[in-house]
Chains A and B, each alone.
Chain A
């Protein structure tokens, strides 16, 4: 028994740590792709049926995580057709929310941040926004915002309804290949803009195959397979949720703010609200262009940024153009901004009509 020579045995022993290290590395790099690779097999359904499911979706009990990503800075207002929270969804961001909902209209969204967490407690008759870092509880009920409107940023169900309401009549509807969302089979409703001057290629809404609840929205720029913006469930369980999750009373020692302005947007990464002195929307659907007249103060802030942008000839003189694959804005010489998910000629057309 030549058990003395441990040279060889030493090499064998190193096989264990080597195997552990390489499999851990392999699993962490490959596993996400495997998860994505699965497909579903649902019975065929018409686009109209999907639209009606989205529009008639009623609150269900669920728990899951929602991830919202954007590749470019997009003012959420213009993207969603001119309403909803006023704010800019920052460029190339990923936000993750834990969400809970019960069947009676209560909704809770929790965003875990490195400094603590922010929460949105939506109950019939009250909307509280909580920030653990500043110990601030903001009551949004008094702000006059429709209770169910503001949380849509973390609620694919509401966002989908809003998109379908505003855009379905300006779109060609189709049902595209079934996909998996949060590990569940889902239908996909595609809304392709009828207007040719839109920068948006297609908006896709995934609807859970079993419960018919919208679970994902993706916005693709024209000619691109990579979504410019996406909001959807990563994990999702349909089950009754304990009521303790939804209840909120401002704790002792917290600062209570009544009817905070734009607080709903704070659950989004708020890149500076547009809060312009006057904003109106020209056009409808994918064609809609926001026209904002900036106050002199806003203008001076913007002037520095605008200088760095390329110039463009407009009917009102030389302006500055901001452009990304799904959104463009022109700062006109008179301080007015025209912006939308449309091409330059449409913006200039609107500018000419001012």
Chain B
């Protein structure tokens, strides 16, 4: 057992540079593993994109991190707390929007926030945490932040989907947070709404908050994420900086030549490309190569008698990387 002193201690110290760490996280439902051996590392201060098609295990992983679902195997550390009891305390420093908004349809937006603030207040009092009791004006300013002040007295059931999403974000930000966990926050939002959420998240990051955001639509989060993890069929397929993600598949080598067939055989002879990985369209050949390989290949092609019209390289787009990893398009279905 730990004393209160120790508990407070571990609350205030970040032991690792990661706000979320999981080790071999595994969870099965009905005999099938929906999450398998997932070891996430979410760096402090990042906007972390948690990507993957629907059904790839993202939501279950998030629910395990938030203590809603119990893992079959593996460990979770949240804001440096590995023990489950401590992890619940850490949750008070985490704002979350899990799988869409969940509010009482028969209460107004303001009453809904009051309900959650009351429960949060008594829950955190029970944990001996210092917490400010929110006044009506605190709640109103939370609503104002997401543009719902006008609609505060309206019943939740009368809100539009976009308003519901924004209320959920307002609820997640009722108190200052260190980590914001957002599961599909842009679901159901119009393009304007998506832009607003992106701006909000960038602003929060600048205030020092770490943001963990999941999405099955890559393009929505691509430009704001500093780090990315990609899930597919319950497994973690990639994890690292957005930059590294782009680079992971190497550079795209593009050659324009009337002798595309000859060029292909030279590439294959050099052992630089697997048969079939080279794409040829008319006078244009493309293949995935590293920079060093590109340096070698040009000389080999010229020596081999290939008439080179132009040589270039382009980086893979995130989209291409995503598709090649997950086998699915990262666009909304």
Is there a contact between chains A and B in the complex with CB atoms less than 8 Å apart? yes
Which A residues between 1 and 57 are near B, CB-CB below 8 angstroms? Answer: 1-7
B75 at the interface (CB under 8 A from A): yes
CB-based nearest B residue for A2? B75
A186 vs B73: C-alpha distance in the bound complex, in angstroms?
A: 66
Q: Is the CB of A6 within 8 A of B83?
A: no
Alpha-carbon separation in the docked complex, A2 to B85 (Å): 11
User: In whole angstroms, what is the CA distance A162 to B76 when docked?
Assistant: 83
Please tell me if the beta carbons of B74 and A4 are within 8 angstroms of each other in the complex: yes
Contact (Cβ within 8 A) A4 B85: no
What is the predominant secondary structure among interface residues of chain B facing chain A? mixed
Residue-wise interface mask of B (49-84) relative to A, using a CB-CB cutoff of 8 A (1 in contact, 0 not): 000000000000000000000111111100000111
CB of A7 within 8 A of CB of B84, answer no
Per the bound structure, the CA–CA distance linking A194 and B62 in Å amounts to: 89
Shortest C-beta distance, A12 to chain B (Å), equals 14
Q: Are B70 and A6 in contact (CB under 8 A)?
A: yes
Contact B70 A5 (CB under 8 A): yes
Main secondary structure of the interface of A (DSSP, over half): loop
| Contact (Cβ within 8 A) B83 A7 | no
| A9 vs chain B, min Cβ distance (A) | 9
Does the CB pair A3–B72 fall under 8 Å? no
User: What is the minimal beta-carbon distance from A11 to any residue of chain B, in angstroms?
Assistant: 13
Number of interface residues of A (CB under 8 A): 7
Say yes or no: A3 contacts B70, CB within 8 Å.
no
| Chain A residues whose C-beta falls within 8 Å of the C-beta of B72 in the assembled complex | 5, 7
Among candidates A1, A4, A6, A7, residue contacting B76 with C-beta atoms closer than 8 Å: A4
| Interface pair B83/A3, CB less than 8 Å apart | yes
Contact between A5 and B83, CB atoms less than 8 A apart: no
CB closest residue in chain A, given B2: A1
Contacts of B73 in A (CB 8 A): 5
Decide if A3 touches B76 in the complex (CB within 8 Å).
Answer: no
Query: How many Å from the CB of A196 to the closest CB on chain B?
Result: 76
Q: How far is the CA of A6 from the CA of B82 in the complex (A)?
A: 15
Minimum Cβ distance to chain A for residue B2 (Å): 10
Q: Which residue of A lies closest to B76 (CB)?
A: A4
- The answer to whether A3 and B71 have CB atoms under 8 Å apart is no
A2 to chain B, nearest CB (A): 8
Within 8 A of B (CB), among A133-180: none
CB distance from B88 to the nearest CB of A (A): 11
Most buried by B among A1, A4, A6, A7: A4
What is the distance, in angstroms, from A215's C-beta to the closest C-beta of chain B? Answer: 58
Closest Cβ of chain B to A4, distance in Å, is 6
Cβ of B85 and Cβ of A3 under 8 Å apart?
yes
Closest chain-A Cβ to B121's Cβ sits at a distance in Å of 26
Q: For the complex, what is the distance from the CA of A5 to the CA of B83, rounded to whole Å? A: 11
Q: How far is the CA of A67 from the CA of B70 in the complex (A)?
A: 57
B contact residues around A6 at 8 Å (CB) = 70
Q: What sequence of 0s and 1s flags, for each residue 150-189 of chain B, a beta carbon within 8 Å of any chain A beta carbon? A: 0000000000000000000000000000000000000000
Contacts of B76 in A (CB 8 A): 4
Query: Which residues of B sit under 8 angstroms from A7, Cβ to Cβ?
Result: 70, 72
19 intermolecular pairs with C-beta atoms under 8 Å apart: A1-B82, A1-B83, A2-B75, A3-B83, A3-B84, A3-B85, A4-B70, A4-B71, A4-B74, A4-B75, A4-B76, A4-B84, A5-B70, A5-B71, A5-B72, A5-B73, A6-B70, A7-B70, A7-B72
CB within 8 Å of A: which residues of B?
70-76, 82-85
Q: A residues near B, CB below 8 A?
A: 1-7
Give 4 nearest A-B pairs by CB, closest first. A6-B70, A3-B84, A1-B83, A4-B71
Known: A4-B70, A4-B75, A5-B73. 11 other contacts (CB 8 A): A1-B82, A2-B75, A3-B83, A3-B84, A3-B85, A4-B74, A4-B76, A5-B70, A5-B71, A6-B70, A7-B70
